[in-house]
Amino acid sequence: MSIDETEAPSNTSYTHGPPADEAGGVLTIDLTAIEANWRRLRTVSSPAECGAVIKGDGYGCGLEPVAAQLYHAGCTTFFVADLSEAKRTRALAPEATVYVLNGLPPGTGPVFAEHYLQPVIGSTAELAEWDTFCTSSGWHGGFALHVDTGMNRLGVTVEEAAAIAPRLSSENHGMTLLMSHFVSAETPDNARNHEQMLGFREVRRMFRGIPASLANSSGIYLGRSALCDLVRPGVAMFGLNPTPGKPNPMQRVVELKARISIVRRVELGQTVGYNATWTVRRPSRIALIAVGYADGYLRSASGDDNKHGGHVLVAGVKCPIVGRISMDLTAIDVTDLPPNAAKRGDFVTLIGEGLELEDVAEQAGTIGYEILTHFGHRYARVYKSA
């Protein structure tokens, strides 16, 4: 996809990657649903500003089309993982604020300045290097300060934050955002959420006048104390439920279908796939679909003699995955379907038609984030924008 195709979302669909009739699978991404989800999150979090986290190549949906859609919808603050993603975002969102969550790699100050990007500073060493660069270059582009309130990952300690706070007395202190990150926002009854909100409130008192951000997708639903000045939704924009255990308030964004390459008969007692892990217990019809772990369809969803694996939908009917998912192929049992319901060239549904991302993730023993960010590049990607 070229930059030109994403600068102004159109009212038509377009395909990126191989043509649909040449691909083993078709991944449909609804950009209008992404925008609608962001608008809903913005309404829920009002009056806080609603930014957008589009790291991981737009959570596997494509950073460029996602950034363009949200920027034209009115999003003015983006968060990405690294400089590469930040530069791609800047090309599509020229007036937006773009924060780099992974911070300041050594020696990259000039790159931040060239592209008007802002690092999320998470250590005193980063802050020292940033200050040195700004002093020597005269750059005043600003930065976010990440304070660790319990994740024990990125972020300065609360004690270090207290030592940094006096810099606010300087006219050119450079700080544009104070932020932290929830540990367990998706489990609202977890006591850590309340502890972090209290801890972050104390940190905010040391940085009066600086906009603050704590809430991710699920954090937006923890109440007003979590919202602060800016919220940072990510995965909810792409259709995953930010309120597990309750109805999903988000629209579905992705649909994945795969093509049947062949349907074959396998006799009683024979096995299917690598290492002979699944044994046929009745004369069976096995369909091979042209998607495997090279396409991000996780091998952990395989079915064998000792456990059930995942399933797909064929003509609306659940059909189990049998044997090992291989690099390019997945076997499914279509014995219970009418003979003409599954034939060479037909498409089966891997995500969609009621088979949700969360369901697919559970089958593979993982989380929806991993399913999203593992989508491969051999699919024909159909982008819809109304």
pLDDT tens digits, 44-87: 999 999 999 999 999 999 999 999 999 999 999 999 999 999 99
**166 phi-psi bin (left φ>0, alpha ψ -120 to 50, beta other):** alpha
What are the catalytic residues?
55, 274
The first and second tokens of residue 156, run together, are: 């300065």
What pLDDT was estimated at residue 12? 59
The first and second tokens of residue 302, run together, are: 């395989």
Angstrom distance (rounded) from CA 17 to CA 145: 38
The first and second tokens of residue 98, run together, are: 């773009």
What pLDDT was estimated at residue 221? 97
Q: For residue 132, name the pLDDT band (cuts at 50, 70, 90).
A: very high
What pLDDT was estimated at residue 273? 95
Q: For residue 11, name the pLDDT band (cuts at 50, 70, 90).
A: low
What is the per-residue pLDDT across 221-279, written as a single tens digit (0 to 9) for each? 999 999 999 999 999 999 999 999 999 999 999 999 999 999 999 999 999 999 999 99
Decide: 312 and 287 in contact? Cβ < 8 Å: no
Look at residue 245 and give its three-state secondary structure.
coil
Work out the angle at residue 82's Cα, subtended by the Cα atoms of residues 62 and 226, and round it to the nearest 5 degrees. 85
Element of type H or E holding 259: strand 254-266
Helix 83-92 to helix 63-73 angle (10° resolution) is: 50
Angstrom distance (rounded) from CA 313 to CA 334: 10
Q: What is the mean pLDDT of residues 166-193?
A: 94
Please give the residue that has the higher pLDDT: either 10 or 126.
126
Taking 70 as the threshold, does the pLDDT of residue 339 lie above it?
yes
What pLDDT was estimated at residue 3? 32
Taking 70 as the threshold, does the pLDDT of residue 201 lie above it?
yes
- Domains of the chain (ranges; CATH) run 31-238 (3.20.20.10), 254-355 (2.40.37.10)
